[in-house]
Each structure stands twice: as C-alpha cells, then as structure tokens.
C-alpha cells in the first residue's frame, strides 16, 4: 500500500449508508462519510472530481441495474461499493442471489478503476438486528472473497468496537450519526494508504451511565412508532424510502463545483 497515493477522482455507489443518512446538515441535506472522504481527497489533489450515485433504500439488484454501469463508465481512480445489507434485512432474502449480484457488480467495477473499495458494514448492538446477523456475516464473507479475487480493499467496519456502540447510531437505529460517519471516512482514508488523521477511530467512546428503565422504554416506543412501524410497512408493501429520488451527485465533476 502506497503512502498518500495521488488519486484524482472518487465515485461512491450504494444505498443510504453511502448517501449519508443520518448525518444531517443545517440545510436539510445529508453529508456522510463519502462526502467527508471526498473533501479530504480534494484538499490534497487540485481538480479532484467526485460523484455519489447512492440512493437510500436501494437493494443490490437496483444498485447493479441503476448505478454500477454508470460508475464503471466514469473511469474514476477510486470506486466504493457498499450494498446488499438492505437485502439481508428483508423478511425473505435469497442470499445466493445477493451473492451473485454482488459478484456481478465487483466484476464490472474492479477493472474500471485503479482501486475498488468494499466494506464490511458496521453492526449496531441490540436485539432487533440479531435475527439478521447470520445473513449479514454471510454477506461479509462474500465481500472478503470477492476482494481477494479482484484486488479490492476491504474496510472492516463490522469489526470496529466503536461503531457497534448504540451512541454512534441515530434514533432510527439504522443509520450512523455524524460522528459515526466521520469515523467511517477516517477508516476508508487509511485503507487507501493515507496517513491517519485519527489513529483511534476504532476506539469506543468513553463509558457513560446507561439511561434508566423508564427512559429506555420511552425511547423504544418512540423508535417503534416513528421508525420501525413505517419501515415494516414499506417492506410489506414493496415500497422504498428512495422511490423516485435521484442520485445524490450523479456526475463526476470537480469537488469544488459540488461542495
């Protein structure tokens, strides 16, 4: 791995994680780890270009159909691909199909860039995700295998203790906070060979006293009413939070034109 490699462009492919939910900016838009990473890379490289094709709620089939060929045609130095996790959270999930689609995506993207970046997505602690954890780990095993075969870099967020802390997750319990996204950007930055700006990104936050039983139950009720029930409703009706939304930054343009 080279130190401070001169990458001149970045294309991000994926779903809400790469779109940047829930790193909310004052104007109501989302920032997220990919934007933070692009800003760092642009500060080092004049004329740096950046595109973010991610759209919340996308399944791996949609990512392959709507984003992969577009990203491959852009000819970027670095492409990041994170997808398939939404599939594993569906009540019915054909993991063989998910693996095949992820393989199709990697086979198209790896030869189209200097460095393909894959990830083992972060996993929040808590009972809701436990039933889906075997599928998630099957997906991550596939990521590792594809990376080894195609020379991709794997950023292991799933194995980072800091990102399993519930305090790193927004109230919807599905998306990282701004601090969580900052740590992901640092992880990818280091994986690309840059000198660390935060050597402790994996380190958990200082321990604090947990909230009392009443506060926990109140938070659980708010979560169920505001986030869990609508999420279940979308799953049952085949709708997605990203239906009708365009890609975040659909063209590979100089970063300063998009910042």
Assign residue 140 the CATH number of its domain: 3.40.50.1110
- Where does residue 165 fall: left (phi above 0), alpha (psi -120 to 50 degrees), or beta otherwise? beta
Interval 76-112: pLDDT, tens: 999 999 999 999 988 889 999 999 999 999 999 999 9
Task: For residue 53, name the pLDDT band (cuts at 50, 70, 90).
Answer: very high
Under 8 Å between Cβ of 54 and 66: no
Under 8 Å between Cβ of 188 and 155: yes
pLDDT cut 90: percent of the chain above it? 67
H or E segment and range at residue 146? helix 133-150
In a domain? residue 1: no
Interval 26-46: pLDDT, tens: 888 899 999 999 999 999 999
In a domain? residue 193: yes
Give the 3-state secondary structure of residue 86: helix
Give the 3-state secondary structure of residue 237: helix
In a domain? residue 4: no
In a domain? residue 180: yes
Under 8 Å between Cβ of 10 and 41: yes
Interval 186-236: pLDDT, tens: 999 999 999 999 999 999 877 765 666 656 565 556 655 554 555 556 555
Work out how many domains the chain is built from and give that number: 1
Under 8 Å between Cβ of 63 and 15: yes
φ, ψ dihedrals at 42, nearest 5°: -65, -35
Q: To 10 degrees, the CA torsion angle through 219, 225, 231, 235? A: 140
In a domain? residue 16: yes
Q: Which domain holds residue 118?
A: 9-257
In a domain? residue 3: no
In a domain? residue 130: yes
Task: For residue 2, name the pLDDT band (cuts at 50, 70, 90).
Answer: very low
């Amino acid at each position: 791995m080279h130190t401070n490699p001169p990458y001149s462009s970045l294309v991000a492919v994926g779903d809400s994680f790469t779109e940047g939910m829930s790193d909310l900016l004052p104007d109501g838009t989302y920032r997220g780890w990919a934007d933070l990473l692009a800003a760092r890379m642009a500060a080092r490289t004049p004329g740096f270009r950046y595109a973010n094709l991610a759209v919340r709620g996308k399944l791996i089939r949609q990512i392959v159909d709507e984003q992969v060929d577009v990203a491959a045609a852009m000819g970027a130095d670095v492409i990041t691909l994170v997808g398939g996790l939404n599939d594993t959270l569906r009540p019915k999930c054909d993991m063989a199909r998910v693996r095949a689609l992820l393989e199709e995506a990697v086979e198209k993207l790896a030869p189209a860039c200097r460095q393909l970046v894959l990830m083992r997505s972060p996993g929040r602690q808590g009972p809701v995700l436990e039933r889906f954890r075997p599928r998630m780990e099957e997906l991550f095993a596939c990521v590792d295998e594809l990376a080894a075969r195609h020379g991709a870099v794997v950023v292991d967020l799933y194995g980072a203790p800091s990102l399993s802390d519930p305090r790193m997750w927004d109230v919807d319990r599905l998306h990282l906070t701004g601090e969580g996204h900052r740590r992901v950007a640092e992880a990818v930055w280091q994986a690309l060979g840059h000198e660390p700006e935060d050597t402790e990104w994996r380190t958990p936050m200082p321990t604090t006293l947990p909230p009392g039983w009443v506060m926990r139950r109140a938070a659980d009720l708010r979560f169920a009413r505001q986030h869990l029930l609508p999420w279940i409703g979308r799953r049952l009706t085949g709708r997605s939070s990203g239906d009708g939304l365009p890609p975040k930054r659909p063209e590979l343009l100089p970063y300063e034109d998009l910042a």
